[in-house]
């Protein structure tokens, strides 16, 4: 198994403080005969299958003079793919994947045009792809995704050494690995996959990390791929972080945490109808509050017990029209309805009156957060963490999710805080920070 496979849960045990520390490494220099084009061939024995049916190869390269190179990969099954890329004095990245369901030998050739005298390589690696589960679950392991950017980091190869493939020098036509160290390259650890991957301090965003002006190194903590699959893609593949309205990010993440898509699916499987039409019928096709007749497509399902306090959607939902839903918002029934209405709501939904009048955080879900607080803090947008922490504290002043996180993993806590402080809209963060730091 490749290195990634061992990593998931171990992350937080490993040092997680050095996401902004830089490491310098030396590439390997390959001397070429500039009078003619060269073909550099490498091979790798693929001994195990990965978790997606692809073999991938990637590297970072630089050359003494700008040149158009060709990178051709042939997997053990014979599938071949090539990609053209440019190299110049600064480092560039290249990566591709070919379909492959078997073990055997993978071959890689790098076609270098005449005129190039030195080619520098860092992180040349090839293997059966073993992607993090989160990437697979969100369809990051398709041929199209893997080849969409030429970015080697999305292949999740270890890329720990300058060259981790076997050269086949008999085919190198006079080219040879130099005895002298190659060009140096700067690496930074990814906060999620934990690999050390390249950045170019002079060209932010050029290599494996997006830029981030507020960070010490000018780059984000997570590599581009982890950033994409862990956070952004869950919501909307097209969005960039700030285009998305804050409350919508939070509510989508909360929905996923509360497993709403699954709950809705289960209800549909069991009843043959969607929750919306079940609730609509249950309420006599009327809005519960104003009692007007509404069509199915006018129904707004209200969580009854508020979603913000971790109550997932379920069969106790209330049928409301748009106006009444806007009026109720994320309030508890007891804060919105009269006693008579509460009794009627209890009779229709089947939720006990004593439950309906309570103002409680859903304890079961809260416990789930507390049990895995570090994982949730890493997975969620920090604004979601903050929003949930505030709601919990409002009803349970003794439970401070920020404090709990700090106790469990100080580095992740600092991460969340730093991220929140960078967001102007998170005014209330200051108080969360001060209280958690006490």
Residue ranges in contact with Zn ion by CB under 5 A: 190, 192-193, 223, 226, 287, 289-290, 321, 324
Q: How far is the CB of 381 from Zn ion (least distance, A)?
A: 17
- Provide the sign of the torsion angle of the four alpha carbons 121, 125, 126, 132, taken in this order: negative
Residue 338 to residue 330: CA distance in whole angstroms: 17
Neighbour count for residue 252 (Cβ, 10 Å): 17
Q: How far is the CB of 153 from Zn ion (least distance, A)?
A: 6
Query: H or E stretch including 379?
Result: helix 373-379
Nearest Cα residue to 109 out of 49, 175, 11: 175
Name which of 338 and 354 has its Cβ closer to Zn ion.
338
Residue 166 to residue 125: CA distance in whole angstroms: 10
Residue 26 to residue 380: CA distance in whole angstroms: 36
Distances (CA, A) of 334 to 164, 290, 319, 356: 64, 17, 17, 7
Q: How far is the CB of 2 from Zn ion (least distance, A)?
A: 14
Q: How far is the CB of 405 from Zn ion (least distance, A)?
A: 21
Q: How far is the CB of 361 from Zn ion (least distance, A)?
A: 27
What does residue 387 show for φ and ψ, rounded to 5 degrees? Answer: -65, -45
CA angle (209 as vertex; 409, 149 as ends), nearest 5: 130
Name which of 192 and 376 has its Cβ closer to Zn ion.
192
Q: How far is the CB of 189 from Zn ion (least distance, A)?
A: 9
């Amino acid at each position: 198994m490749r290195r990634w496979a061992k990593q998931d849960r171990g992350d937080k045990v490993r040092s997680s403080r050095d996401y902004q520390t830089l490491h310098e490494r030396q590439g390997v220099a390959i001397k070429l005969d500039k009078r003619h084009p060269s073909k550099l061939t490498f091979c790798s024995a693929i001994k195990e299958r990965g978790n997606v049916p692809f073999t991938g190869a990637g590297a970072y390269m630089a050359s003494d003079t700008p040149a158009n190179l060709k990178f051709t990969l042939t997997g053990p099954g014979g599938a071949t793919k090539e990609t053209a890329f440019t190299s110049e004095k600064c480092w560039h990245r290249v990566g591709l994947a070919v379909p492959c369901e078997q073990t055997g030998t993978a071959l890689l050739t790098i076609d270098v045009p005449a005129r190039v005298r030195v080619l520098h390589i860092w992180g040349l690696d090839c293997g059966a792809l073993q992607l993090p589960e989160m990437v697979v679950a969100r369809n990051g392991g398709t041929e199209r995704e893997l080849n969409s950017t030429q970015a080697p980091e999305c292949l999740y190869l270890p890329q720990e050494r300058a060259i981790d493939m076997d050269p086949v020098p008999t085919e190198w036509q006079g080219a040879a690995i130099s005895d002298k160290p190659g060009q140096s390259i700067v690496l930074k650890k990814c906060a999620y996959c934990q690999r050390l991957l390249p950045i170019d301090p002079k060209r932010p965003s050029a290599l494996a990390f997006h830029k981030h002006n507020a960070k010490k190194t000018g780059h984000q903590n997570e590599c581009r791929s982890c950033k994409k699959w862990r956070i952004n893609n869950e919501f909307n593949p097209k969005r960039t972080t700030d285009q998305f309205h804050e409350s919508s990010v939070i509510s989508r993440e909360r929905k996923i945490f509360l497993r709403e898509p699954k709950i809705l699916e289960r209800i549909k499987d069991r009843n043959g109808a969607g929750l919306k039409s079940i609730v609509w019928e249950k309420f006599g096709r009327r809005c519960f509050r104003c009692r007007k007749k509404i069509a199915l497509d006018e129904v707004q399902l209200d969580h009854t017990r508020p979603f913000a306090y971790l109550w997932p959607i379920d069969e106790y939902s209330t049928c409301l029209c748009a106006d009444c839903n806007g009026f109720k918002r994320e309030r508890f029934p007891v804060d919105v309805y009269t006693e008579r209405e509460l009794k009627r709501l209890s009779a229709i939904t089947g939720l006990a009156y004593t439950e309906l009048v309570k103002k409680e955080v859903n304890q079961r879900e809260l416990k789930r957060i507390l049990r895995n607080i570090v994982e949730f803090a890493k997975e969620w947008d920090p604004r979601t963490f903050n929003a949930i922490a505030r709601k919990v504290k409002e009803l349970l002043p003794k439970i401070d999710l920020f404090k709990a996180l700090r106790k469990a993993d100080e580095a992740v806590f600092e991460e969340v805080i730093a991220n929140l402080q960078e967001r102007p809209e998170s005014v209330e963060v200051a108080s969360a920070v001060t209280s958690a730091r006490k």
